[in-house]
Chain A
Amino acid sequence: MTAPDAAVHVRNVSHQFGEEGEVHHVRALADTSLDIARGELLCLIGPSGCGKSTLLNVMGGLLLPTAGTVHVGDVPVRGPLPREIAFVFQENALFPWSTVMENVVLGMVFQGVPRTEREARARRSLEAVGLADFTGHYPGQLSGGMRQRAALARALSLQTGILLMDEPFGALDEQTRMILGEDLSVLLARTEKTIVFVTHSLGEAVFLADRVAVFSARPGTIKEIIAVDEPHPRRPEFVTSAKFHALRNRLYTLLHDEIRKAVSQSASGGGAPDQRP
Chain B
Amino acid sequence: MTPRSGRRSQRLSRAVQLAFLIAVLALWYLATARWGVSHLLLPNPTSVLAELEDVLASGEFMGDLRVTLTELAAAFAIAALGGVSLGYVVSRSPYSVRVIEPLLAGMYSIPIILFLPLYVLFFGLGPASKIALGATIGFFPVALNTIAGFGYVDRIYVVAARSMGASGFQLFRWVLLPAALPVILTGLRMGFIVALLSILGSETIASLAGLGHRIVHLAEAMETARMFAYIAFVVAIAAALNFLVTVLEARGRR
Which A residues fall within an 8 A CB radius of B?
Answer: 60, 62, 80, 82-83, 85-87, 89, 92-93, 95, 97-98, 106-107, 109-112, 158, 276-277
Contact between chains at A98 and B178 (CB < 8 Å): yes
Contact between chains at B164 and A158 (CB < 8 Å): yes
Chain B positions within 8 Å of A80 at CB level: 162-165
| B239 at the binding interface (Cβ < 8 Å) | no
CA distance A6 to B199 in the complex (A): 70
Contact between chains at A95 and B163 (CB < 8 Å): no
Q: Closest CB-CB distance, A160 to chain B, in whole Å?
A: 10
CA distance A277 to B165 in the complex (A): 15
Known: A95-B175, A98-B178, A109-B170. A87 touches B163 (CB 8 A): yes
Chain A positions within 8 Å of B163 at CB level: 60, 62, 80, 82, 85-87
- Which listed segment binds A: B93-101, B138-146, B149-157, B186-194? B149-157
Number of A-B contacts (CB under 8 A): 56
Known: A106-B174, A109-B174. A89 touches B160 (CB 8 A): yes
Contact between chains at B178 and A97 (CB < 8 Å): yes
Task: List 19 A-B residue pairs with CB atoms under 8 Å apart, sorted by A's residue number.
Answer: A60-B163, A62-B162, A62-B163, A80-B164, A82-B163, A82-B165, A86-B164, A87-B160, A87-B164, A89-B159, A89-B160, A93-B156, A95-B174, A106-B164, A106-B174, A107-B164, A110-B164, A110-B165, A111-B165
CA distance A87 to B160 in the complex (A): 7
CA distance A111 to B167 in the complex (A): 9
CA distance A60 to B162 in the complex (A): 11
| B86 at the binding interface (Cβ < 8 Å) | no
Contact of A276 among B159, B170, B175, B178 (CB under 8 A): B159
| B166 at the binding interface (Cβ < 8 Å) | yes
CA distance A33 to B36 in the complex (A): 95
Contact of A95 among B155, B165, B178 (CB under 8 A): B178
| B179 at the binding interface (Cβ < 8 Å) | yes
CA distance A86 to B161 in the complex (A): 11
CA distance A107 to B178 in the complex (A): 15
Contact of B165 among A83, A89, A92 (CB under 8 A): A83
Q: Closest CB-CB distance, B112 to chain A, in whole Å?
A: 34
Chain A positions within 8 Å of B154 at CB level: 92
Chain A positions within 8 Å of B160 at CB level: 87, 89, 93
Q: Closest CB-CB distance, A215 to chain B, in whole Å?
A: 22
Contact between chains at B156 and A276 (CB < 8 Å): yes
Q: Closest CB-CB distance, B72 to chain A, in whole Å?
A: 30
CA distance A202 to B156 in the complex (A): 26
Q: Closest CB-CB distance, A92 to chain B, in whole Å?
A: 6
Lowest 7 A-B CB distances belong to which pairs?
A82-B165, A110-B164, A110-B166, A97-B178, A93-B160, A87-B163, A107-B164
Chain B positions within 8 Å of A93 at CB level: 156-157, 159-160
CA distance A92 to B156 in the complex (A): 8
Chain A positions within 8 Å of B162 at CB level: 62, 80
Chain B positions within 8 Å of A109 at CB level: 170, 174
Chain A positions within 8 Å of B161 at CB level: 110
CA distance A95 to B181 in the complex (A): 13
Q: Closest CB-CB distance, B193 to chain A, in whole Å?
A: 25
Please name the residue on chain B nearest to A274 by beta carbon.
B155
Chain A positions within 8 Å of B178 at CB level: 95, 97-98
Please name the residue on chain B nearest to A103 by beta carbon.
B160
Contact between chains at A62 and B165 (CB < 8 Å): no
Q: Closest CB-CB distance, B39 to chain A, in whole Å?
A: 57
Contact between chains at A89 and B156 (CB < 8 Å): yes
CA distance A159 to B156 in the complex (A): 21
